[in-house]
Amino acid sequence: MAKTLFVSALIAVIVLGVFAPALGNGFVGYDDADYVTGNPHVGTGLSRENLAWAFTASHANNWHPLTWISHQADSSLFGLEPRGHHLTSVVLHAANAALLFWWLNSVTGRLMVSAFVALAFGLHPLRVESVAWIAERKDVLSTLFWMLTLIAHTQWVRRRGTTLYVLTAGCLAAGLLAKQMLVTLPAVLLILDWWPLRREDPVKRLVLEKLPLFALSAIFSAVAIAVQSATGAASSLDRLPLGPRLENTVVSLVRYLGKIAWPVDLSVFYPFPPGGLPAWKVAGAAAALIAISAIAFQQREKRPWLAAGWIWYLLTLLPVIGIVQVGMQSMADRYTYVPMIGLLIASGWEACAWPRVAAVPGVLVLAAWSVVTIRQIPVWKDGVALFTQALRADPENFVAHDNIGVELDQRGQFEEALHHYRETLRIKPGDRNGESNFALASFAKGERLIAAGKQEEALDVIREGLRYLPRHALARVHVGRILSAKQQVAEALREFDAAIEIEPSLAAAHMGRGVAMAQSNRPVDARSAFEKTVELEPANVEARFNLGIVLAVLGQTAMARTQFQEVIRLNPGFTPAREALAEIGAQVSR
């Protein structure tokens, strides 16, 4: 027991050391706002109201109350300082690696190979996404309960008793409350009954004893599907037909094997190939899967770990392999968090056949993975670093272009942002996010150019954005103002009228319309527009002043005086209003 405790602690310390640089990372713009920084139910920490929300909300296209509670607890402890949130994720991951060793060693008695598997799991570069991405807390938290379920089930098999069975079910339920990825765990337990537990009970009995666990999984599966359907997260067959999904499933199962063995060109988002997958790639992947499955089946008696590990891999990837497609990614590094364990178990036990030969390569592999992991962690430092890496991995990644555009947009780097939005639309014409983001960045850049006095340049930029977002009322107001300043009054009026049709309560549109009417020598119409502006914005000094001028032109001296007096009350330093008031007084005295 003392040796087991020591090795468990050592594994945890090593994993903590390798992932410690994550504590220097910040939040990224990709989902972190939904999960923490922009979520008032999380950012305000633990409270009765926030706990109730955690169990009733289907926010971020998921229902995972325990994950929300963990984020709320972090906010209570650390506020919105990212270091504390990262610390929790790193500690949970280190605990998962230690518990994996504890369980493997307890069921096999093979300390060294159990330690190797646990370290390989804990140090692999594919773990970075689940650990360094704060919004992916659900991975490390749910897997903590996956490991505890394995340990509790093993104890129940050995000692029986209602308490241990309830503990097993409770750990499974807690994991499902953190992420529904655990729905396949009861089926995995059946495999583990065969190996490494080597239970000789009839299969029927093994299945029957797990029916309550399967029932839990079924309930949570139904909840997950209902939430994702209700929130629109699940892609319809019209949007992504079943054929391409199945092709991607076959290819992704093999691509994951490649990423595990050779973890390079990692990316936060792997898009579907725009033209679909070539037939040769699908056929080759299918042949590889059939061959691996055949070898595992053939060797099931002599080397049962091969079949057990392979089935673990296939089963645990099933909820996220894309048959029920959530989002538009073709695969994701985070999806391998639990599935990879099966492959590590199979390869670890296979290497035991050549312990002297495998020892040195095994240590070198762990060292190499650790180095790559340490280099991968800063990729998650912020959104720009994250999506820049995604573009290195795939320059045609339209989602990476779009998201790095958003990050640059938020920093006020509109020209650079527009470049990436253009790339998004080049790669995927008609992408709604790309079009909307391009338009909004164009409008923001146009406003900056207007402030700098570059009216013509601003006009071109804003009009380019209006191609993609024509019903943006304020952008049309900006165009109308520029045209009005150029004395193109008729064209300006069309822009202001369009803005009012889109957003009738937009005071700036009525204000612009009033100015254009005054330019057209239509004081009655100008008066109506300025009065509407004042109705919408009673403290609008410029609108009241313009209204006073128009009223004076129309001979409504008393009403004009009232408007000028109100302007002075709102802004005592507004000299033109004082001058106009003095002029009215002089006219009256004459």
Q: What domains lie within the chain, and their CATH numbers?
A: 2-380 (no CATH), 395-465 (1.25.40)
Going by C-alpha positions, the residue among 172, 174, 177 that lies closest to residue 214 is 172
The answer to whether the CB of 312 falls within 8 A of the CB of 341 is yes
> Which two structure tokens, joined as six digits, stand for 256?
């994951």
How far out from the chain centre does Cα 293 lie? 34
Quick check: 343 and 296 in contact, CB under 8 A? Answer: no
The vertex-549 CA angle with 548 and 550, nearest 5°, equals 90
The predicted pLDDT at position 58 comes to 81
Burial 272-291 (b: 16+ CB within 10 A, else e): beeeebeeeebeebeeebee
pLDDT score recorded for residue 197: 96
Specify the 3-state DSSP secondary structure of 331. strand
Q: Give the residue from 97, 86, 88 showing the smallest Cα distance to 14.
A: 97
What lies within 8 Å, CB to CB, of 521 at 6+ separation is: none
User: Rounded CA gap, 76 and 127, in Å?
Assistant: 26
Closest Cα partner for 515 from 476, 563, 547, 539?
547
Q: What is the pLDDT of residue 276?
A: 83
Contacts 24+ apart (CB under 8 A), 53-58: 58/227, 58/230, 58/231
Q: Which residues of 48-81 are buried (b: 16+ CB within 10 A; e: fewer)?
A: eebeebbeebebbbbbbbbbbbbbbebbeebeee
**pLDDT of res. 230:** 76
Whole-model pTM: value is 0.89
Q: Whole-angstrom Cα distance, residue 224 to residue 215?
A: 14
Instruction: For residues 406 and 513, give the distance between their C-alpha atoms in angstroms, rounded to a whole number.
Output: 33
Please give the pLDDT value at position 413. Answer: 93
Whether the Cβ atoms of residue 301 and residue 194 lie closer than 8 Å to each other: no
The per-residue pLDDT for 147 is 98
CA pair distance 337, 259, nearest whole angstrom: 12
Q: Omega of the bond prior to 186 within 30 degrees of 0, cis? A: no
Whether 546 and 510 have beta carbons less than 8 Å apart is answered as no
Q: Residue 232 region, left (φ>0) first, then alpha (ψ -120 to 50), else beta? A: left
Q: Which residues of the chain have pLDDT under 70?
A: 232-239, 325-327, 355-357, 587-590
Identity of residue 448: R
CA 56 to chain centroid, in Å, comes to: 20
